[in-house]
């Protein structure tokens, strides 16, 4: 029994804590293997931040949240789930978990989504509202149909387009793309970042017209959408 | 009877969940419904105090879960209303004494006995919250008209959506119409605009609520109390009636006319 457990899960140290890679196959078996592996060395895992690579397993909210609970009962905080399945990635995002590991070389606030060959020119479509605590990370552009509420975060390798009110934190060009733009029907983000620049919204003014923010001479500038 | 399980939650603490559960339960019971409240705040129980049943506790929720008593034995009958019961929380344990599946089991057993099961969730989004929402058929999210409470309510609504708990209903508690008019408080529209869920109640700020909670006599029975009336209206809406929201401005006008505060 101990041998099979050893062979199906792999544990390695990464910059952001530990990465546990599960094998392929039945989810319940993988889950048990993972927990058994952890219970063999409880002191090693106590207080750890863990990213989980679940491979091709298709996981729903109930499955992922119960594993997260079981880990948290062992003093382990699950912060990211890596998966090849879109369904699992969406589930992880719904639970507020990251779906990518950050790159080490950029400053802290720049931690971008990993770029992948197909990522650059594709866009992720997200149905709003994005509520407080949700984080969307994607290597290409992100399009949101609905509001982005305060406390929600979007990090995109390229552009961010919000068909609704943008009030959360948004980072366009997270890989350093200075040509990235952020557009919203109502642009009032808590904080807006493009590549390495940061801006906050002016507090007072009520703007009700659609705007686009872009980098002009290293400064983030917002202009009415129609003049673009 | 097949009870409907309602859970009251908010994320942020101190917004008035426990008082609201007590008042809505009293209102439902006085409308002829059979109601059982469950205090989900293990370790920091309060609902028994607000309902004025503190001195009658023998068994609690953890005793049921751990098999030290039968469900019936832990149900405390209210002094005033025949059809109102409370299952209190344990005071000497913590949230881990109960699991989400325990809550589902207790509620399933209780369903055949009453019309409504009202669960008072603790603040936060951890174990106690998960326990409280696990058996819920419908979740009531409570907020105050202030930015931090609304932010937490938004987070909770997101978590409920992620847990596939269906659309929640919103109660806005402690609204002060004068402050809204002066622009010093978020309005009902501001809150709804952000949270975008169905509104089921607006409760005006009322200092009598504190007096009533301290005495263990919920306000919902007092026809003169505006807050009590608001809770009764919520109970009616839960039962499927269409009840218009209180005109809080009219109240202020009348008060000023009569020289009341």
C-alpha distances (whole Å) from B134 to each of A203, B106, B179 are 40, 11, 37
3-class SS at B3? coil
> What does the pLDDT read at residue B247?
81
DSSP assignment of A68-114 equals HHHHHHTT-EEEEEE-S-HHHHHHHHHTT-BSSPPPSSS-GGG-PPP
Q: Where are the alpha helices (DSSP H) in B59-215?
A: 61-65, 71-74, 100-110, 127-133, 147-162, 177-182, 188-195, 208-215
One pLDDT digit (tens) per residue for chain B, 261 residues? 799 999 999 999 999 999 999 999 999 999 999 999 999 999 999 999 999 999 999 999 999 999 999 999 999 999 899 999 999 999 999 899 999 999 999 999 999 999 999 999 999 999 999 999 999 999 999 999 999 999 999 999 999 998 888 899 999 999 999 999 999 999 999 999 999 999 999 999 999 999 999 989 888 878 889 999 999 999 999 999 999 998 876 555 555 555 554
> For position B149, which CATH number holds?
3.40.50.300
| DSSP bridge pairs for A182 | A160, A213
pLDDT tens-digit readout, B208-219: 999 999 989 888
3-class SS at B80? coil
- Structural domain harbouring B64: 4-258
3-class SS at B256? helix
Q: How many CB atoms lie within 10 A of CB B126?
A: 12
ipTM value, please give it: 0.80
- Which helix H or strand E contains B18, and what residues bound it? helix B17-30
Nearest CA in chain B to A65: B163
Domain count, chain B: 1
- Look at B154 and A131 and tell me if their CB atoms are within 8 Å: yes
First to last CA, chain B: 45
- Look at B154 and A149 and tell me if their CB atoms are within 8 Å: yes
In terms of pTM, does the model score above 0.90? Answer: no
Rounded-to-integer distance, Cα A166 and Cα A127, Å: 13
- Give the mean model confidence (pLDDT) for residues A88-102: 82
All residues at 6 or more sequence positions from B163 whose CB lies less than 8 Å from its CB, including other chains: A61, A62, A65, B133
Nearest CA in chain A to B159: A95
> What does the pLDDT read at residue A13?
84
**Domains defined for chain A, CATH in brackets:** 2-94 (3.30.750), 108-227 (2.160.20.70)
pLDDT tens-digit readout, A28-71: 888 888 898 888 888 888 888 889 998 888 888 888 888 888 88
- Look at B196 and A129 and tell me if their CB atoms are within 8 Å: yes
Residue A75 forms contact with B (CB below 8 Å): no
pLDDT tens-digit readout, A144-190: 999 999 999 999 999 999 999 999 999 999 999 999 999 999 999 99
The share of chain A scoring above pLDDT 70, in percent, equals 86
Q: Which of residues 44-73 of A touch B (CB under 8 A)?
A: 61-62, 65, 69, 73
Q: Which of A65, A131, A167 sits opposite B163 (nearest CB)?
A: A65
């Amino acid at each position: 029994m101990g041998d099979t457990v050893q062979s199906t899960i792999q544990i390695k140290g990464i910059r952001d804590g530990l990465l546990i890679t599960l094998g392929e196959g039945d989810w319940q078996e993988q889950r048990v293997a993972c927990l058994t592996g952890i219970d063999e060395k409880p002191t090693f895992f106590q207080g750890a931040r863990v990213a989980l690579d679940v491979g091709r397993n298709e996981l729903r909210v109930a499955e992922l949240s119960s594993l997260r609970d079981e880990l948290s009962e062992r003093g382990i905080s699950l912060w990211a789930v890596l998966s090849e399945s879109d369904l699992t990635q969406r589930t992880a995002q719904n639970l507020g978990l990251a779906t990518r590991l950050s790159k080490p070389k950029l400053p802290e606030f720049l931690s971008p989504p990993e770029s992948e060959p197909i990522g650059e020119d594709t866009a992720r479509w997200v149905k709003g509202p994005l509520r407080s605590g949700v984080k969307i990370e994607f290597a290409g552009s992100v399009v949101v149909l609905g509001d982005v509420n305060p406390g929600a975060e979007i990090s995109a390798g390229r552009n961010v387009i919000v068909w609704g009110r943008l009030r959360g934190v948004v980072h366009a060009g997270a890989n350093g793309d200075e040509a990235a733009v952020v557009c919203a029907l109502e642009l009032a983000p808590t904080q807006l970042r493009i590549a390495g620049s940061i801006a906050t919204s002016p507090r007072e003014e009520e703007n009700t017209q659609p705007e686009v923010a872009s980098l002009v001479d290293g400064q983030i500038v917002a202009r009415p959408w129609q003049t673009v | 009877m097949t009870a409907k399980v309602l859970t009251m939650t908010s994320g942020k603490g101190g917004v008035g969940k426990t008082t609201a559960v007590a008042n809505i339960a009293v209102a439902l019971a006085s409308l002829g419904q059979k109601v059982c409240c469950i205090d989900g705040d293990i370790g920091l129980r309060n609902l028994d105090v607000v309902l004025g049943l503190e001195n009658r506790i023998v068994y609690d929720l953890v005793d049921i879960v751990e098999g030290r008593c039968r469900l019936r034995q832990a149900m405390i009958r209210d002094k005033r209303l025949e059809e109102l019961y409370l299952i209190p929380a344990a005071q000497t344990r913590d949230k881990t004494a109960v699991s989400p599946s325990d809550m589902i089991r207790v509620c399933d057993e209780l369903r055949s006995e009453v019309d409504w099961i009202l669960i008072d969730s603790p603040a936060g989004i951890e174990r106690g919250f998960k326990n409280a929402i696990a058996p819920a058929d419908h979740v009531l999210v409570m907020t105050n008209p202030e930015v931090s409470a609304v932010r937490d309510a938004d987070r909770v609504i997101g978590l409920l959506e992620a847990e596939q708990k269906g659309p929640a209903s919103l109660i806005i508690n402690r609204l002060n119409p004068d402050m809204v008019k002066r622009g010093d408080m978020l309005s009902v529209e501001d809150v709804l605009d952000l949270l975008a869920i169905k509104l089921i109640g607006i409760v005006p700020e009322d200092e009598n609520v504190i007096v009533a909670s301290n005495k263990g006599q919920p306000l919902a029975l007092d026809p003169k109390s505006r807050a009590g009336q608001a809770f009764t209206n919520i109970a009616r809406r839960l039962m499927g009636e269409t009840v218009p929201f209180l005109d809080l401005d009219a109240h202020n006008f009348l008060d000023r006319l009569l020289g009341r505060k």
